[in-house]
Amino acid sequence: MSRIKTINRRDFNHLLRTSFAFPLIAGSLHFPVNEYGTSENELKNHKIDHWEIKELNYHWPRPVGKNGRRDVHGQFHKFTAIQLFTDQGASGWGLTSAGASSSAEQLKGKLVSEVFSETTGILDRSLRDFDFALHDLAGKILDKPVYEMLGSQGAEWTPIYSGMIYLDELEPPENPAGVDGILENCLWDYEYGFRQLKVKIGRSGKWYPHDQGLAKDIEVVRTIFNAMGDSIEILVDANDVYSLSDTIAFMEGIGDIPIFWIEEPFHENREESVKLKKWLLQNNRSTTLYVDGEANPDHELCMELGKEKILDAYLADIHSFGFTAWRKLMPKLIKDGIQASPHAWGNLLKTYYIAHLARGLGNIVTIEGVVCYSDEVNFGNYQISDGKITPSFAPGFGMEIL
C-alpha cells in the first residue's frame, strides 16, 4: 500500500503502518433459519396479512456540515420503514415514504406473487412505497439474498467511497475546525475502510464570496491530496453550484491531482456538458469521470449524454427512483455503455441496498457509503475491506428491525 505523505500535526504514515481495514458488522450475525421454501411458486403460498409503519432512529458517527446548497445536516435522524407480515409467518421490511400508510391498503389480502416477481420486482408503480420491503420479504420466503434473486451477475466486492466529507471547516460556528477538521474526518473514514473520499466543493455558491469559495475548494482538495497521496482516490461534488467556467477553473487550480470523478458541477444540460467533456479530454483528464443525474435529473437527457459518451455514470437515487426501476434500467445502461452509481445519501440502508444491486447486476462503478449506527436496526453481516464492500449473504437484504 502506498505511504501517506506527512502533514502538520498528523502522522498519516503511522496510520498506514498500524491500521487495518475491518469488516463492517453491526449487531449479531444471527438470522432466522428459513422455513418456507426455495421455489418462486412459494410466493403464491403467502398472503400479506398486515403491516406496521415504524419511525426508526439512527445517527451518523459525526456531525455533518454544509454542502454548497444546504446548511448543516446534523447527526441524529429518523427514517420511515414498513414491515410486511404474511399469513404464513414471514416478514420483510424496508425504507419507505411518509405516505406509505395510506397506500398500504392495496396490499391487504394480496398474494405476494400478485404484487412481486422475483425476476422483475414490484409489478406496478403504485407499489413503489413497498419496493424494498417486498424484495426483502421475497428473499426471506425464498431463502435467497436479494443479489441472488437478481442473478449474481456482478463482482463479489464493489468499490465504495465515503460520502461524508462536507464543508466541515466551517463547523462548529463558535469554534470552526478549519481544514484540519476536514483532514480528521478523512482519517476517520480511511481507518473505517474507505479508500475513496468524495469531497464536497461549491463553496462559492452560498457560504463564501465567489472567488474566495473557489480558492477554498482548491485548497481543501490540495491539502487532502498532499496529506494522503495515492493511498486514496478523490471524488468531488459541487451540488450543481458551479458554472462551466468555475468547473474548469477548479480543475486547473488543482493542477495534476488525480480526480476519480466530478459530480454535479452544474445541472446537466447539453451545451455545457459537451463543453466540459471536451475540456476534460483535451486537458489530460480522460480518466476523470463526469457523473450526474442525482438532483431533479433530466432522465432522457442523461441517457442521451451517456450514450454519446459525454456522461460517464448515472446517479438517480436508489429510493426516489426505485429499486425495481434500477433493475429495469440497468440492462439498458450496460447496452449503451453507461456506468451507474445510485445516490445513497441519507442512511446506511440505501448504501446496503445498492450493494445488492451491484452484486446482482454489476455495472456499478462505486457505491456511496453513508456510515450509520442505530439501536433499533441490526444492519447485518455486510463487510467493508480495503475500499470495497460485499453485501450480506443472509436472506433478503439481511437486516432486521430490533
Each residue's pLDDT tens digit, 208-224? 999 999 999 999 999 99
- Rounded CA-CA distance 131/143 in Å is 18
pLDDT digit string, tens, across residues 255-265: 999 999 999 99
Q: Which of 12-26, 53-67, 292-306, 336-350 has the lowest mean pLDDT?
A: 12-26
Residue 350: name the closest of 372, 330, 329 by CA: 372
pLDDT digit string, tens, across residues 302-336: 999 999 999 999 999 999 999 999 999 999 999 99
DSSP for 12-53 reads HHHHHHH-------BS----PPP-S-SSGGGGGG-BEEEEEE
Burial class (CB in 10 A: 0-12, 13-18, 19+), 9: exposed
- Residue 40: the pLDDT is 66
* Average pLDDT value over all residues in the chain: 92
CB within 8 A of 143, min separation 6: which ones?
A: 34, 36, 37, 38, 395
Sign of CA pseudo-dihedral 320, 323, 329, 330: positive
- Rounded CA-CA distance 338/333 in Å is 5
DSSP for 38-106 reads SSGGGGGG-BEEEEEEEEEEEEEEEEE---SSS---EEEEEEEEEEEEETTS-EEEEE--TTHHHHGGG
Residue for cell digits 460485499? Answer: 390
Residue 267: name the closest of 220, 305, 219 by CA: 305
Residue 199 has pLDDT above 70, yes or no: yes
- Rounded CA-CA distance 225/256 in Å is 11
Residue 2 has pLDDT above 50, yes or no: no
pLDDT-derived band at 205 (thresholds 50, 70, 90) equals: confident
* Domain range annotation of the chain: 40-144, 158-401
Over pLDDT 70: what percentage of the chain?
A: 90
Residue 25 has pLDDT above 70, yes or no: no
Over pLDDT 90: what percentage of the chain?
A: 88
C-alpha cell recorded at residue 383: 463487510
Residue 84 has pLDDT above 60, yes or no: yes
pLDDT digit string, tens, across residues 294-311: 989 999 999 999 999 999
Segment 368-381 mean pLDDT: 98
- Rounded CA-CA distance 316/327 in Å is 12
Superfamily of 158-401 according to CATH? Enolase-like C-terminal domain (3.20.20.120)
- Residue 295: the pLDDT is 85
Residues 352, 379 contacting (CB under 8 angstroms): yes
Does the domain formed by 40-144 have CATH 3.30.390.10? yes
pLDDT-derived band at 98 (thresholds 50, 70, 90) equals: confident
- Residue 101: the pLDDT is 87
